[in-house]
Every structure is written in C-alpha cells, then in structure tokens.
A = this chain, B = another copy of it.
Amino acid sequence: MSESVAVGIDLGGTNVKVALVDVRGRIKARWVSPLDPAESPSVTVREIVATIDSLLAEAGLSRLDLAGVGIGAPGPMDLRRGRIVKAANLPAWHDVPIRELMSDALIQPVVFDNDGNAAAYGEHWAGAGRGSDDMVMLTLGTGIGGGVILGGRVLHGHFENAAELGHTIVAVNGAPCTCGQRGCLEAYASARAVAQRASAALAQGESSTLRKVADDNLNVQAVTVAQHARGGDSLARRVWDDACLHLAVACVNVQHAYNPARIVLGGGLSRAGDLLLDGVREHFARQKWSLHDDLPTIELAALGYDAGLIGAAGLGWHRHRRPDE
C-alpha cells in the first residue's frame, strides 16, 4: 500500500536537495546534486522534476501520491509572485518565476519560501518546535537568521522580510555590523563574530590556548573557540560567554515581541550543544523580567541541515494554512 508524501526542495547557492517526506516529517528518500552556475534555471527545473519522478518510482509511488510540494531558497526573492530575484553564485538565476516553473512542470500547486523560514517551519513541524504553534528559530551561522511561526504559520510581514533577528539591535551605538547598523545581535553572537572577537583578543597579546591553533593572521574558527572554551581557556570562555549573553538578550526580546512557547537555536554554532544551550539559558534566567511567567523554553534545533528540506515539504503538506495562497 502506498502512502502520500510531500516533496521538499532546498535550492541552495551551490547545490540542490530534493526529498520525499512523509506525513510525520520523516525523509523517505533524498537526492543531492551540485548546481551548475552555467545552466539555465529551466534546465535545472527539468532536472528536479525528473528527480522527483524517479524518487517516486523507486518508492513505488506516482505523482498521484504527492500531497504537496515546497521549495526553500535563499533571498532576495519575491514571495507573493513566487520569484527568485537574485541568487548568489548563480548569475543565470535572475528574476526566475520558480514557483510557476515548478508548478507548471508538476501540474500542481507549489509553495515557495525563503530557506530561513523553511528551516523554522521544519523544526516547528518535525523538530525541536514540535507541538509549539508559536515558535521562533534563531539560525546561528556565519550570520544570524531567523524564522517565526505564529499560530502554525510562517510570519512574512508587509515587506516579506520579517524575522531578520540577527539584525535586531541589542546595544545602542554598539559594534558595527556588515548590514550598516551598529550593535546588531549578529555582530556579537554569529560564528563570524565569535571568531573575529577571539582573533582580536589574540591580536592584543592575551595568552590563550587558541594561540597554538590560530593561523598566521591569528584567525580561529568559532567551533575552535567553543572547543577551547569547553577546555577552560579564559579568553575563549569570555568570548563564548559574551555571545551567549547577547543571544539571551535576543531571547528576552523575542519573548516580548512574539510571546512564543519555544525558542529554537540552530545553525553551525548550535553544534556546540550544551555549551551553547546552558550558556544561553543561564543568561536568560538572569536577564528575563519578573513581572510575568510568560517564559519560552529554549532548545537546540533537532533537524540539523535537513531542517530546510523537511520544512519545505511541510509547507507543501500544509499549504492550506497559508492565507495568501
């Protein structure tokens, strides 16, 4: 007996992932392929469609078993019109009506959202946010992204660019950010910020076990800072702790802005596990208010790099939840 599946498509800057995902958010089959920058989008779409058909056939399914199709991609994009405006590393992807191309090729509706929202939806549906209709995800990578689920739906906002939580300001006139603002969360707690702040402290001559592993320009990676913080190095601990403090303040702000049941921490920095979670929770407990007990739980993401893929499929499954479709 065949079961329905949804297709999730994660269209990244360097490769495309396609998965069949069951009704509970489990990946049943997957396929990954590098994206050829020279290839036209319509050729790539044909390749994706052929992949879907062959994944379905291998699973003993057909297009009739498809409960939905969702695509996640990095911005900038035009969500209302279903278009990729521009794609880093892919010059041919200029103002591409990806939703329509996929929908025409598959002869069924396709949902399209940005990768941060798709990842948040994945965690909401099948990961660390399961059971929480009001959930916020912070994706701690090179930069910091966000995704907000309210009432079980993705928040987009008037300009379709809501949940840019990495660029909320936690320190008036604070550290400069790549975005042009000062004092952004991203300038204190992203992987890039953690690495840069550790390097800067090394450059000032502070003694640290990081010095042995830094390169000639005193560069270290955030994951290395986490390792040395765990090992007790005081410079690494201070930099890591400061990132956790700023993330905790961001969690307080998320609490007061959206009042979610849960905040989920994902992205590369979250691979530090308890070192991140305990640090953020401890600072949150000190930073939070005492007026009400409207406190979200803070958890690590559960789906890793599959969050966006699973979430895209989930958006396909649940497309009736979208008021604007």
Partner-B contacts on A (CB < 8 A): 76, 132-134, 148, 150-151, 155-165, 167-172, 174, 177, 179-183, 245-246, 249, 252-253, 256-261, 287-292, 294, 296, 323
Which single member of B253, B256, B260 contacts A158 (CB below 8 Å)? B260
- Interface contact B158-A252, CB-CB below 8 Å: no
Sample of 16 further A-B pairs with CB below 8 A, known A157-B294, A163-B256, A168-B253: A134-B157, A150-B150, A151-B323, A157-B260, A158-B261, A161-B259, A161-B292, A163-B259, A167-B256, A167-B291, A168-B257, A169-B287, A170-B172, A172-B245, A180-B289, A182-B287
Jot down 20 A-B pairs with beta carbons below 8 A, ordered by A. A133-B158, A150-B157, A158-B259, A158-B296, A159-B259, A159-B261, A161-B292, A163-B256, A163-B257, A165-B256, A167-B289, A168-B252, A168-B253, A169-B287, A172-B246, A179-B291, A181-B287, A182-B287, A253-B257, A257-B257
CB distance from A131 to the nearest CB of B (A): 11
Report how far A289 CA is from B182 CA in the complex, Å. Answer: 9
Nearest opposing residue in chain B for A174, CB measure = B172
Q: Which residues of the other chain, B, contact A159 by a CB distance below 8 angstroms?
A: 259, 261, 292, 294
Report how far A297 CA is from B76 CA in the complex, Å. Answer: 22
Q: Give the top 10 A-B pairs by smallest Cβ distance, nearest first.
A: A157-B259, A159-B294, A180-B290, A162-B259, A134-B158, A158-B261, A164-B256, A179-B289, A168-B253, A161-B294
Residue from A148, A169, A181, A259 with most neighbouring chain B CB atoms (10 Å): A169
Which single member of B164, B171, B252, B292 contacts A76 (CB below 8 Å)? B292
- Interface contact B169-A252, CB-CB below 8 Å: yes
Report how far A177 CA is from B296 CA in the complex, Å. Answer: 21
Nearest opposing residue in chain B for A259, CB measure = B157
Nearest opposing residue in chain B for A136, CB measure = B257
Q: Which residues of the other chain, B, contact A323 by a CB distance below 8 angstroms?
A: 151
Known: A158-B260, A179-B289, A323-B151. A253 touches B253 (CB 8 A): yes
- Interface contact A162-B76, CB-CB below 8 Å: no
Q: Which residues of the other chain, B, contact A160 by a CB distance below 8 angstroms?
A: 259, 294
- Interface contact B169-A172, CB-CB below 8 Å: no
Q: Which residues of the other chain, B, contact A174 by a CB distance below 8 angstroms?
A: 172
CB distance from A45 to the nearest CB of B (A): 27
Report how far A151 CA is from B324 CA in the complex, Å. Answer: 10
Q: Which residues of the other chain, B, contact A164 by a CB distance below 8 angstroms?
A: 256, 259
Known: A158-B261, A182-B287, A292-B159. A256 touches B168 (CB 8 A): yes
